[in-house]
Amino acid sequence: MSSRPELQAPPEIFYDDDEARKYTSSSRIIKIQSELTERALEILALPKDGVPRLLLDIGCGSGLSGETLTDNGHQWIGLDISDSMLNVALEREVEGDVLLADMGEGLGFRSGVIDGAISISAIQVDFLLFHYLFFLSSFICCKMFNH
Ligand SMILES: C[S@@+](CC[C@H](N)C(=O)[O-])C[C@H]1O[C@@H](n2cnc3c(N)ncnc32)[C@H](O)[C@@H]1O
């Protein structure tokens, strides 16, 4: 079976208690999430005036990316579909507030409330799972109708 999480199960199933702990304790993952978050901050290009911004971390997981936001002096709200990942974030006493939510259902923030948003290694999980299921169902249909 593929080692890619997005090809194994929906994120709220894949990131269970065991996987959430394993994920959060991997030094390789910690480094990658930190580096990608630094890059996301560069791309956001927030004013360098020392004023903390309120950022949204979409698919915040156990808060590894959020920690880099904290290290850069920002406040953040994280949302994630996996309650196991969020429980690990709470145990780790991350500085951000975390919410159980599916990004696909909309975010519910009024315009202007958030200064910026990041999403690190989260969107491809849903995107690839969608495409995988789409091609699998197309393949099954072709077989059924002998195309
Ligand atoms: C590879 S982890 C990255 C987590 C986070 N960036 C970090 O630094 O720990 C991907 C996260 O995206 C979350 N995710 C995937 N699809 C989601 C969705 N539709 N809504 C909210 N979170 C989602 C997963 O539950 C998982 O915690």
pLDDT in tens, 70-128: 999 999 999 999 999 999 999 999 999 999 999 999 988 899 999 999 999 998 655 55
Domain residue ranges in the chain = 11-124+136-143
Question: Ligand 1: which of 17, 88, 125 to mutate, judged by most atoms within 8 Å of the beta carbon?
Answer: 125
pLDDT for residue 134 = 54
Supply the pTM of this predicted model: 0.85
Looking at residue 94, the DSSP 8-state letter turns out to be -
In the chain, beta strands by DSSP E: 54-58, 75-80, 97-100, 116-118
Pocket lining for ligand 1, CB < 6 angstroms: 11, 15, 33, 59-62, 64-65, 79-82, 85, 102-104, 120-122, 125-126
Look up the CATH superfamily of 11-124+136-143.
Vaccinia Virus protein VP39 (3.40.50.150)
